[in-house]
Structure 1
Amino acid sequence: MTHKFKVGDRVQVIRDSKIEIDTITFKDGTIYQLQDKSWVEDCRLAPAPALVKVPQNVKEQIELALHYNQQNKENALEGLLQDYYIRTEYESESVGEWIANNFAKFISAVLGGYEVEKEPLYKIVIVDGEDRQLLFGEDEYTFQVRYESESHESWKKRYSEREIKDIDTEFGTNYWAFAVQVEEGEG
């Protein structure tokens, strides 16, 4: 029995005795058109392995390396590994740390594709009696703690951990102590 695929699925396809990863763009019965415009029978397809999840800063390093290496994944990987092992030149220590702790995932991400981890977001909730106050960002330099009912739609009210800690460092505050994780889809 063959697997049922739909348009948009990532698949493994056997071509010239090699396994390649591609995406289905059109389906006609049991024949599929792939992103590279080739047509393949369903018996030559298998589900692609799940994409590796990487943090945003690792994604940025991979994209930069691919750009400088004309999208050649092997050359990009070589350059990234040289940066990691020889020069240790990552701007962010967390990129080097992530590579050290997830080496096989890193190689898979560069060579086979990846998706970006959704970073948890937080609200800064300060309870004042029975009212809730939130930290709102009017722009990147102006932050105010205001009652939730006074919120303006354009004000930012969700922050990543890094953003909150940067605000704490820059303004000498301790908002991280009041951070409450926002559930996905929460308003």
Structure 2
Amino acid sequence: MRFKEGDKVEFIDQGELKQGVVTEIEETNHSIFYQIDYIRNMEITWITEDKLLSPAPVLKVPRFADDWISHCKQREYDLACLLDYEDSDMSAEMNDWLSSEDSNQELLMRAWLDGYEVEKEPLYYVKLIDQATGYLNVRNDGRRSMSNSVQNEIFKTKFTESEIKAMDKGEVYWLLREPVDEVEGEA
């Protein structure tokens, strides 16, 4: 059995590639049948295992690569212009990323051709003092205070690197950062 309940799968139906989710599995002596719930059409069908495909993984690119791809598409650049970092208005961050590894050039091309998702930026707390109520909190109106690390509609406590560095005293706050997942993992 290659798939389990909840797996996303693809299959060809009447010459069209469709996507769905495995909702039920039935085994017989000779075959395995999967009940597939179509994601878009809200229909259900039964398909044998040999007719199902694992969907290709979605490429993930950094935010600045997404910005560059959007910039190039808005100006109707072609693929050659996308990679022409010698003679363009590409950001230094994008240029450094492309120059750092050959595989980044291929990743950018595949993202341009096949589609992509933007990598989720890591989030950080700013811990001002070493106690439970020692975290930086920023209210909706921009006022800052110190309290616990719980984020809600009023207080923001989780920040990206760029958000921290853009704050007044951001370089100091950056030194006091703690990754969100490390702190939440301790709880």
- Structure 1 unaligned regions, length at least 5: 36-40, 70-74
Report the aligned-residue RMSD: 4.4
Per the normalisation by structure 1, the TM-score is 0.62
- Alignment correspondent of 2:29: none
Cα distance 1:116–1:6, how it changes in 2: closer, same or farther (>3 A)? farther
Alignment pair present for 1:80 and 2:82? yes
Contact persistence 1:65–1:80 (CA under 8 A): yes
Stretch of structure 1 that moved more, 58-67 or 42-51 = 42-51
> What is the TM-score with the length of structure 2 in the denominator?
0.62
Contact 1:62 1:76 in 2 (8 A): no
Q: Does 1:135 align with 2:130?
A: no
Report how far residue 76 of structure 1 moved.
Answer: 4.0
Shift of 1:134: 1.6
Does residue 52 in structure 1 map to residue 59 in structure 2?
yes
Q: Which structure dedicates a bigger proportion of its chain to helix?
A: 1
Question: How far did residue 164 of structure 1 move?
Answer: 1.2
Indicate the percent of aligned positions where both proteins have the same amino acid: 25
Shift in alpha-carbon separation, 1:159–1:180, aligned structure 2, 3 A: same
Which runs of 5 or more structure 2 residues have no equivalent in the other structure? 23-32, 41-46
Residue 124 of structure 1 corresponds to 126
- CA contact 2:150–2:157 (8 Å) conserved in 1: no
Matched, 1:96 2:91: no
Q: 1:45 and 1:151 mapped to 2: Cα distance?
A: 42
Q: Following TM superposition, by how much is the alpha carbon of 1:34 offset from its aligned partner in structure 2, in angstroms?
A: 10
3-state DSSP of counterpart to 1:50 = coil
User: SS of 2:109's equivalent?
Assistant: helix
Indicate the residue corresponding to 1:179 in structure 2. Answer: 177
